[in-house]
Amino acid sequence: MSVKEKIEEDLVSAMKNRKELTLSVLRMLVAALRSRQTEKRTKCAKVGVATEDLSRESELTEDEVLETLRSEAKKRKDAIEGFEKGGRADMAARERQELTVLGAYLPAELSDAELHAMVSEALLATGAGTMKDFGKVMGRVMAQAKNRVSGDRVSAAVKEMLGAK
């Protein structure tokens, strides 16, 4: 079962069980996925994809669904940070609950050890030795760890390891 199908199934379940928070978060997520799919459909139409192929071509891939999920989770993390700075603990708590619901659909994050191993491997493969090679290493690690780690964590790990050289 794909992540998108699981989300839609859980949305129906949340409606039946009257789980307000889960229902709210999943509705927001489905709206974000539809928006992303509409954007993709528009791009496909502009490029000249045949009308009969448009719906098939504009379907979101599993990676695109996970990217959208990660994006929504990042919005919640940023909101939590902002609410805490603004002294709004109640709103921060609500965002944490929403983040917990979203987290159930995200794949497990890479551990620090796994991330460092990936960065080390990328450093060796690219022959990187200075911060000038930062982009090469980032690109390689992000391609390998797609949707399993945030860019911020990868960036910090790459900077740490390049700075150590």
Nearby residues of 37 by Cβ (< 8 Å), 6 or more positions away: 58, 59, 60
Predicted pLDDT at 109: 84
Instruction: Name the residue range of residue 49's domain.
Output: 3-103
69's tokens: 């999920």
* Domain at 56, CATH number: 1.10.1510.10
Q: What is the pLDDT of residues 39-56, one digit of tens each?
A: 988 888 888 777 777 777
Identify the domain boundary among 73, 103, 133: 103
Do residues 39 and 117 share a domain?
A: no
Query: What does each C-alpha distance from 146 to 28, 64, 74 come to in angstroms?
Result: 23, 11, 15
Do residues 99 and 133 share a domain?
A: no
Number of domains into which the chain is organized: 2
In 3D space, the residue among 118, 158, 112, 115 whose CA is nearest the CA of residue 134 turns out to be 158
Do residues 59 and 117 share a domain?
A: no
CA distance 30 to 36: 10
User: 61 in the Ramachandran plot: left (φ > 0), alpha (ψ -120 to 50) or beta?
Assistant: beta
CA distance 151 to 116: 14
Predicted pLDDT at 165: 54
Do residues 61 and 17 share a domain?
A: yes
Q: What is the pLDDT of residues 3-30, one digit of tens each?
A: 999 999 999 999 999 999 999 999 999 9
CA distance 91 to 88: 6
Do residues 88 and 141 share a domain?
A: no
Do residues 63 and 118 share a domain?
A: no
Do residues 69 and 143 share a domain?
A: no
Identify the domain boundary among 86, 103, 120: 103
Look up the pTM and report it.
0.78
Nearby residues of 78 by Cβ (< 8 Å), 6 or more positions away: none
Range from 6-15, 48-57, 64-73, 131-140 carrying the lowest mean pLDDT: 48-57
User: 23 in the Ramachandran plot: left (φ > 0), alpha (ψ -120 to 50) or beta?
Assistant: alpha
CA distance 162 to 111: 19
CA distance 99 to 101: 5
Do residues 82 and 132 share a domain?
A: no
Tell me the three state secondary structure of residue 4. Answer: helix
